[in-house]
Amino acid sequence: MDDLQFRRSLYADPNNRDNDLIEALSKDPQKQKFAHEVSILEDKIFNALNVPVPDDLAKKLLLKQTFASHKQHKRKTRIQLALAASVAITFGITFSLMQFSHTYKTISDYAIAHVNHEAEYFNNDIKTRVSLTKLNQKMSAFNGVFLEQLGELIAANYCRFDGTKSLHLVFKGQSTPVNIFIVPKSEYLKVGDHFENEHMQGLVNNFYNNNIIIVGDKNEPLKKWQAQISQKVRIST
């Protein structure tokens, strides 16, 4: 699948995962990044358009228009009511598109959801590797640097972590990939040191204005990853 066909397929259906598209994703980190960005945009549009307009908005607009109509001719009144309806529709659409809703309350909830959402794109058999130089080019956006690699880095891409620009790293793990997120601290997301569910576990390191979140399966020695991060990652204020 060439690049043009790949992009057309994703633009037509961001959730499309036919065999040809999955094969293209597994071989090209840039295609993985593009698919991720399209998916995030699709989620944002979906969430924005599902923000409800307040129940009493139409009533308030109509009431205001009714008071004004007493001072005007009947013909003008009809025109203004039509305009008011247009304003109401426009306001509702604008409100929906501009409103931003934080879906998750804790870092752990969002981290697990993010990993699950992208699980099909990454596995330990992917041969692509990201160099330390390219990794640190991306880390510069967070005033950070890796002194050396933590392991075999499969992917390194910017992402939106509950609306915040973050860095998503995927390393080869013991049996499944280990996901590491560099996330600026947020007033909307509560932070804990450790989290887990039936299949995954996670640890959080605090580095000045950033949180470094490590997510892996239940058999992954995350303490070792955490120790490596403390030794090999530097983030300045």
Could you tell me the residue ranges of all domains in the chain?
Answer: 57-98, 104-235
Average of pLDDT values for 179-195?
82
Average pLDDT over the chain, rounded to whole? 77
Check whether 76 has a pLDDT greater than 70. no
Per-residue b/e over 34-73, b at no fewer than 16 CB within 10 Å? bbbbbbbeeeeeebbeeeeeeeeebeebeeebeeebeeee
Domain 104-235 in CATH 3.30.200.100: yes
* Span 28-56, pLDDT tens digits: 777 777 777 767 776 677 666 666 666 66
- Tell me the pLDDT band of 206, cut-offs 50, 70 and 90: confident
**What digits encode the pLDDT tens for the residues 108-144?**
888 888 898 888 889 999 998 999 999 999 999 999 9
pLDDT of residue 131: 95
Provide the pLDDT for residue 97.
35
Query: Which residues contact residue 94 at a Cβ distance below 8 angstroms, ignoring those fewer than 6 apart?
Result: none
CA angle at residue 176 from 175 to 182, to 5 degrees? 135
Give residue-wise pLDDT tens across range 219-230.
Answer: 999 999 999 999
> 235: how many CB neighbours lie within 10 A of its CB?
16
**Residue 100: pLDDT over 50:** no
pLDDT over 90 (residue 85): no
User: What's the pLDDT score for residue 212?
Assistant: 92
Predicted pLDDT at 88: 43
The confidence band for 216, taking pLDDT boundaries of 50, 70 and 90, is very high
With cut-offs at 50, 70 and 90, classify the pLDDT of residue 164: confident
Of 144 and 84, the structure prediction assigns the larger pLDDT to 144
Cα–Cα distance measured from residue 84 to residue 72, given in angstroms and rounded to the nearest whole number: 15
Mean pLDDT over 54-73 rounds to 64
Angle at 188 between CA 186 and CA 193, to 5 degrees: 65
The number of residues in the chain equals 237
Q: Is 75 exposed, middle or buried (0-12, 13-18, 19+ CB in 10 A)?
A: exposed
